Amino acid sequence: MTIEKATFAGGCFWCMVKPFDQQEGIDSVVSGYTGGHVENPTYEQVCSEKTGHLEAVQITFNPEIYPYEKLVDLYWTLIDPTDPGGQFYDRGESYTTAIFYHNEEQKRIAEESKDLLEKSGKFNKPIAVKIIPAKTFYPAEDYHQQYYKKNPLHYERYHIGSGRAAFIQHHWGKKHE
């Protein structure tokens, strides 16, 4: 059995876990921090915008069951890919978007997918998601892991209140996750 990793930054990591976690072939979805220069950062440090890290999720998956292409396709439907300043209610560098590729095949797939989305005309602004090499991934504190399961009511209020759910419904025709 082949197992691979995929890493995506899409704003608040709480909202990025559930949609991936519910797919067959996904082994785990871990909330964490990546892309910066501080080792073992804390949530407070990342929020200070001084670490260079983004909130992200790292997915361990079986590509024979759920290929990387499908992960990337799902990723686009969870974010506002045109927003360079954060995601929805959450603003600042730590909430910006990126696809962190783990090998050249992932890079190729991500770039082709981004190009197709750009050319689709679905959005009237440029796609702002960066596609960059994966760096060390630091798991977030335990209370952030699987937040949608541990705190379902707060998660639901946040997902709707942040504007993410309405954006997803409007642009992708999907009920919120």
Give the active site residue among 6, 9, 12, 168. 12
- pLDDT for 175 equals 65
Residue 27 has what pLDDT? Answer: 96
Mean pLDDT of 56-62: 98
Would you kindly state where each structural domain of the chain is located, as residue ranges? 4-172
Residue 15 is among the residues annotated as catalytic for this protein: no
pLDDT digits (tens, 9 = 90+) for 70-99: 999 999 999 999 999 999 999 999 999 999
Q: Which tokens in the block code for residue 66?
A: 């759920």
What's the rounded mean pLDDT across residues 155-177?
86
Its CATH class, for the domain covering 4-172, is alpha beta
* Prediction pTM value: 0.95
Average pLDDT, the chain: 95
Identify the band that residue 176 occupies on the pLDDT scale cut at 50, 70 and 90: low
At 2 the pLDDT is 87
Distance CA 167, CA 11 (A): 14
The rounded distance, in Å, linking the Cα atoms of 4 and 154 is: 31
